[in-house]
Chain A
């Protein structure tokens, strides 16, 4: 690749990531990165012979069409699944490329075999993460799955040692076993940790790209791959820090839940939309805490209307508090609120808003549970122990807009439900918010 084009491509990519530090111009970064990758694509296409060029262009166009159709059908609440799928396909692609590379190296390169391994686990791991994100119930315990994946890992190594190099069976079995290992292993990881896994697999596919670059002496793949791999790795670490857990714990510790008692046995204060409206209109300061349940119910537009009525008609100081791991992907809820046109100035991160809860009259918690559960601070047996939480417990009144008393993603009970100053607005988040808005109008 001529140097000038190479330099243009990787410089543009680095600059494009920088644009993402400002929400207002971030969209430009996307455009720059797209042109950069397209330039690399075109530059490599023109060296192909005529037939291969035509076939490649056709296949790339087909892939582009499918990619766009898939994305069009993705709702904002399924963003993490979409990203996981695309990442998995990238992993599959790198595995197929590495198989060809291995052939060109007479099937005897340990380095390429490692790349095939990583590519396989990225692909199947991504598929498993989609299953976990869709909340499909597993029929086997997390612990058993982890032991199973360890067994598969041992079988993979045994396969490499026992079967002779020249046999294609060795390669097939290797790919099959490594794919299975990746799949089972990610299945065994807690649902609440899926954002970390997605980020980790994202980083992994970056490093796979750079390893392929090392193998094929492609400086472009090396630089780009390492860029993606390193940024993904740092993002993963940022996320584990925001949960106050280590990556090791996320990957290898299995959940031990304390069995929560049947929560319907205890008393909760049920409220009607009228009661909630009354509380809200008389409050000076309201902090709205959205969770994944809000996303599932598509209540973001109603939240915008609610916030607008409170601010304009009742002069209430209304703020939104987003926990770093609310939703199923970092920044997931930020995207949802942005979609509803809620101004960035009203949206606060944990460190900026946590002190304000004690002066808040109402904490309106919609579709959220674990992120405000005080047991994260008190209960050392809970899976969310030591995770930083939003201090909704400090507010004078707490309103839960939830469908039921069912435990959140982590499966544990929340003592906030039963407090004197807590009200429950039971029902679908979107419908209930609409009713509250009606009462306020």
Chain B
């Protein structure tokens, strides 16, 4: 199965990606991966295309709403954290 192979490969990539990250950056890592998981929003967008009864359209719009909070809130809080670790001459006051 192609999907299974992709799954396993992605799992390995995920494992090796974070093996070099020090404890200092574990918080931003968690908030970043959390923000990225908001990509589920495209699952909702794709389902909007075929015609659906109204109730399910509402559910999908709600899903898109919550996923959007996840994405934008998540990247923003990661930004706030990582901004603190920037080299000092690059930080604005």
Which A positions have Cβ atoms within 8 angstroms of B?
Answer: 13-14, 16-18, 20-21, 23-24, 26-27, 29-30, 33-34, 37, 40-41, 44-45, 47-49, 52, 55-56, 59-64, 66-68, 70-72, 74, 79, 82-83, 86-87, 89-90, 92-94, 96-97, 99-101, 103-104, 198-199, 202, 205-206, 208-210, 212-214, 216, 218-232, 234-235, 322, 324, 329-332, 334-335, 338-339, 341, 344, 347, 349
What residue of chain B has the Cβ atom nearest to residue A48's Cβ? B48
Task: State whether B73 touches A71 (Cβ < 8 A).
Answer: yes
A335 to B82: give the CA distance in the assembly, Å: 8
In the complex, the answer to whether B3 meets A222 with C-beta atoms within 8 Å is yes
CA distance A212 to B45 in the complex (A): 13
User: CA separation between A329 and B47, bound complex, in Å?
Assistant: 35
Measured between beta carbons, the chain A residues less than 8 angstroms from B10 are 210, 222-223, 226-227, 230
Nearest-neighbour CB distance to chain B for A119, whole angstroms, equals 9
Instruction: Please judge, given known A-B contacts A33-B75, A82-B77, A331-B26, whether A230 and B14 are in contact too, CB under 8 Å.
Output: yes
Assess the B87–A230 pair: CB atoms within 8 A. no
Residue pair A324, B23 in contact (C-beta under 8 Å): yes
Distance in angstroms from B48 CB to nearest chain A CB is 5
B60 to A100, Cβ gap below 8 A? yes
Known: A64-B72, A222-B7, A330-B30. A230 touches B15 (CB 8 A): yes
Listed in ascending order, the chain B residues whose CB lies under 8 Å from chain A are 3, 6-7, 10-15, 17-50, 52, 56, 59-88
CB <8 Å contact, A209 and B37: yes
Q: Is the CB of A330 within 8 A of B26?
A: yes
Q: Is the CB of A226 within 8 A of B36?
A: no
**Does the CB pair B29–A20 fall under 8 Å?**
yes
- A334 contacts B27, CB within 8 Å? yes
What separation, in Å, do the CA atoms of A223 and B62 have in the docked complex?
Answer: 24
The 6 closest A-B pairs by CB, nearest first: A63-B68, A67-B73, A230-B14, A331-B26, A226-B10, A330-B26
Q: How far is the CA of A347 from the CA of B23 in the complex (A)?
A: 11
Is A101 a contact partner of B32 (Cβ separation < 8 A)? no
- For residue A127, give the distance in angstroms from its CB to the closest CB of chain B: 13
Residues of B within 8 A of A341 (CB): 88
Q: A24-B87, A96-B62, A228-B14 are in contact. Are A71 and B80 (CB under 8 A)?
A: yes
Query: How far is B22's CA from A395's CA once the two chains are assembled, in angstroms?
Result: 26
User: Which of these, B42, B62, B66, B83, contacts A90 with CB under 8 Å?
Assistant: B66
Q: Find chain A residues with CB under 8 A from B42 CB.
A: 40-41, 44, 218, 220-221
Residue pair B18, A86 in contact (C-beta under 8 Å) = no
Chain A residues within 8 Å of B7, by CB: 210, 214, 222, 226
Which residue of B27, B36, B63, B86 contacts A329 across the interface (Cβ within 8 Å)? Answer: B27
Q: Are A334 and B3 closer than 8 Å at their CB atoms? A: no
> Cβ of A62: which chain B residues have Cβ within 8 Å of it?
65, 68
Q: Are B33 and A232 in contact (CB under 8 A)?
A: yes
| Cross-interface CB contact of B30 among A26, A30, A34, A202, cutoff 8 Å | A202
* 14 chain-A/chain-B pairs, Cβ below 8 angstroms: A27-B85, A30-B28, A30-B78, A41-B41, A47-B49, A67-B73, A83-B31, A90-B70, A93-B62, A99-B56, A216-B47, A223-B6, A228-B37, A331-B24
Instruction: List chain A residues, Cβ under 8 A from B37.
Output: 87, 90, 202, 205-206, 209, 224-225, 228
Name the distance in Å between B87's Cβ and chain A's nearest Cβ: 5
The CA of A339 and the CA of B27, in the complex, are separated in Å by 13
Q: Which residues of A lie under 8 Å from residue B25 when comparing CB positions?
A: 20-21, 23, 26, 331, 334
Name the contact of B45 in the complex, choosing from A33, A44, A231, A334 (C-beta under 8 A). Answer: A44
Q: Specify which of B20, B40, B83 is in contact with A209 (CB 8 Å cutoff).
A: B40
Complex CA distance for A55 and B58, rounded to whole angstroms:
11
Contact B45 A45 (CB under 8 A): yes
Chain B residues whose C-beta falls within 8 Å of the C-beta of A97 in the assembled complex? 40, 43-44, 47, 59-60, 63
Closest to A60 in B: B68
Please judge, given known A-B contacts A97-B40, A338-B84, whether A90 and B32 are in contact too, CB under 8 Å.
no
A330 to B21, CA, bound (A): 12
Known: A20-B25, A71-B80. A230 touches B3 (CB 8 A): no
Contact A335/B60 with A20-B32, A322-B23 known, Cβ cut-off 8 Å: no
A69 to B4, CA, bound (A): 40
Residues of B within 8 A of A67 (CB): 68-74, 76
Q: How far apart sit A63 and B65, CA to CA, in the bound complex (Å)?
A: 5
B61 touches A63 (CB 8 A): no
When distances are taken between beta carbons in the complex, the residues of chain A under 8 Å from B67 are 63, 89-90, 93
Cross-chain contact A219 with B6 (CB below 8 angstroms): yes
